Amino acid sequence: MIIKKPPATDDAFIESNVVKRFSPLARQVLAASGPIISSAAAGMTNGFSAILLPQLQQPGSKLSISEDQASWIASMAPLPMAVGCILGGLLMERCGRKSAHLLLNVSFAIGWCVLSMAGSYPQILAGRFITGLSCGLVGPPASVYIAETSDPRYRGILLAGVTFAVSGGILLAHLFGTFFRWQTAALLCSLFMIVAYLLMLVSPESPAWLLARGARAEAESSFRWLRGYDPASRQEFDAMVARTESDDKKANAAQVDSSAESSSPYRRREFLMPLATLLVFFATMQFSGVNIVAFYSIALMKTTIGSDSLNEYLAMLIVDLVRVVTSLVACILLRSVGRRPLAMASGVGTTVSLIGLSIFLYFQTSIPLYRNYSWLSLVFLISYIVFVGIGLFPLPWCMTGEVFPVATRGLGSGLTSSFNFVCFFAVIKTGPTLFATVGINGTFLVYGVISLLGTLLLYVILPETKNRTLQEIEEQFRRGRRKAKDAEASGGQAAGPPNGIATIA
C-alpha cells in the first residue's frame, strides 16, 4: 500500500489551526515585549538618582553623603553606558540577539539587587555602575532585535515602544521613590527584569542573525513563528535568503582577491552612510538639550512659573507625565507617518520652541513688566518637550535597528549608541558652564541654533525607511537616496531593488 504525500496545502492547514489562536502580530508584540521592558529598566536607571539623592541627603538618613559623593552617585551610571553600548553590539553579534538580552537582564537584576541591599557608599556606587553598564548593554540589542523580528508595517510603532518604555521607566522610578524608600524602590525595579527574562525565554532568536550564521532551517522556523505563512512574509524571507547568499558570494570573492576594494563590509557605502546619518541624528538630539531639560526641569519650571513654593516631586511627575504621553503619541505617529516628515516637523518645532523659550525667558528675567507673561515661557517649555519627544528623541533609536546591514549591525548600532552617550555626557558637563556664562535664555538660544542646523542637515541626508524591509533599506543606502527615489518614480519592476529583492508595500 502506497501512502501518498499530503498536498502542498499543509502550510495553510498550519496557519489556520496553530496560528489561529495567536496572530503573527501578537507573537511579534510578545517578542518585542522583553526588549521593551528591559528598556524601561534603562529609564528607571536614569531616573533613580532623582529619588536616591534627596533621601540620602535627608537629616534622618542612616547613610549620610557629601555633595561630592552625591555627584559621583549621579554620574556613576552614565559613566559606563558608552562602553556598555560597544559591548552590547559585540555580544549580540557573537552570542545572538536573544542570548544578549538574557545576559543583560541578569546583569540588570544583579545591579538592582546590589542597590536594594546597599548599606554603604561604595555599595551604592557598585550598584549604580552595574545598572549603568546594563543600560548601555540594552541599547543596541533592543532596537536591532525588534527591527529584525517585526513586520515592516508594525516595525515603527514597536521600535517607538523602546523610547516610550524609557520615559515610562523614568516615571515609574520617580513614583516608586515618592511612595517608598530607595531600597524598596530598587527591589521593585529588579522585579521587571524577571518578567523581561521570562518573555525572552519564550521568544525566538532573530531570523536574520540565524541566517547570517548559516542556520537556514532554524532561521525559517523562527521567521514563520513570528510572521506566519502569508505570501508577503514568504516573499520577504526569500529575499533575505537571496541577499545572504549574495553577500556570501561577495565575501568568498573578496577572500580570493584580498586586494579587492570592497573586501571589508565596514568600508562599503551601505555601512558608512547610515553610520554618518545616525551620528548626525544623535548629535542633533543631544545638543538640542533634551537631557538638560530633563535634568533641570524643576529649576526651569520654577523660573518660568516664578514660584518658589512649587512642590518638587509634583513638578517632576508632571514633566514625566508629559514625556510619557508624548512618547505614546510618537508610537502612534510612527505607525502612520514617515520618518522624514516626522523628523522635519519635530526639528522645526523644537527649534521654534527653544528660540521662543529663550526670547521670553530673557524678557521675563530682564524686564519686570513682562513677569506677568511667564505662562508664555511655560507654554514654550512644554511645547519643546512635546516636539522633541515625537521625533528627535525616538527616531534615532528606532532607526538604529533598521539602517545597518545584518553583517555590520552589531558594531554599527554599538558605535552610534555609544556616540549618543558620549554626546549626552558632553551636554550635561557643559550645561552648567553655559548657564553661568550666557544665562538660561542664552543657553536655550544656542541649543535652538544647533537644532536648526541639525534639522537642515538631516533634511539632506535622512532617508525614508517606513514600510520598507531591512533588505530594501540596505539597498537604498547602497544606491543613494536620490537614485532610489528615481527608481521608485520609474514604476513597475524598476521600483524594486535589484538582485531579486521584492518590494513589499
Q: Examine the domain organization and report whether 154 and 281 are in the same domain.
A: no
Residue 492: its pLDDT value, please? 42
Residue 257: inside a domain: no
Q: Are 51 and 178 in contact (CB under 8 A)?
A: yes
- Cβ count near 367 (within 10 Å): 10
Q: Are 320 and 43 in contact (CB under 8 A)?
A: no
Residue 10: its pLDDT value, please? 40
Q: CA separation (Å) from 145 to 209, 271, 391?
A: 9, 18, 21
Domain that holds residue 158: 22-203
Cell numbers linked to 206: 532573530
pLDDT tens digit sequence for 132-170: 899 989 988 998 899 889 888 888 888 888 888 988 888
Report H helices in 64-151.
67-76, 81-95, 97-116, 121-149
**Percent of residues in the chain assigned helix, strand, coil, to nearest 5:** 80, 0, 20
399: Cβ–Cβ under 8 A, 6 or more apart, which residues?
Answer: 274, 277, 278, 281, 339, 465
Predicted confidence (pLDDT) at residue 86 exceeds the cutoff of 50: yes
Residue 251: inside a domain: no
Q: Examine the domain organization and report whether 45 and 181 are in the same domain.
A: yes
CA nearest 37: which of 196, 146, 172, 194? 196
Q: Are 351 and 455 in contact (CB under 8 A)?
A: yes
Region of residue 276 (phi > 0: left; psi between -120 and 50: alpha; otherwise: beta): alpha
Q: Are 308 and 301 in contact (CB under 8 A)?
A: no
How many separate domains does the chain show? 2
Domain boundary among 188, 203, 218: 203
For residue 440, the domain's CATH number is 1.20.1250.20
Q: In angstroms, rounded to a whole number, what is the distance separating the alpha carbons of residues 282 and 420?
A: 5
Residue 142: inside a domain: yes
Q: Examine the domain organization and report whether 414 and 310 are in the same domain.
A: yes
Q: What is the mean pLDDT of residues 467-479?
A: 79
Q: In angstroms, rounded to a whole number, what is the distance separating the alpha carbons of residues 325 and 263?
A: 47
pLDDT tens digit sequence for 21-63: 678 888 999 999 999 999 999 988 888 887 787 788 777 777 8
Q: In angstroms, rounded to a whole number, what is the distance separating the alpha carbons of residues 294 and 434?
A: 16
Q: Examine the domain organization and report whether 354 and 465 are in the same domain.
A: yes
Q: How many helices (H) and strands (E) does the chain have?
A: 21, 0
Cell numbers linked to 369: 513688566
Q: Examine the domain organization and report whether 326 and 436 are in the same domain.
A: yes
Cα dihedral 246, 248, 250, 252 sign: negative
Place of cell 554603604: 120
Cell numbers linked to 438: 550666557
Of the CA atoms within 13 Å of residue 258, those in its CB half-sphere come to: 0
Q: In angstroms, rounded to a whole number, what is the distance separating the alpha carbons of residues 68 and 356?
A: 35
Q: Examine the domain organization and report whether 138 and 286 are in the same domain.
A: no
Place of cell 556606587: 125
pLDDT confidence tier of residue 83, bands split at 50, 70 and 90:
confident
Percent of the chain with pLDDT over 90: 22
Q: Examine the domain organization and report whether 186 and 272 are in the same domain.
A: no
pLDDT confidence tier of residue 308, bands split at 50, 70 and 90:
low
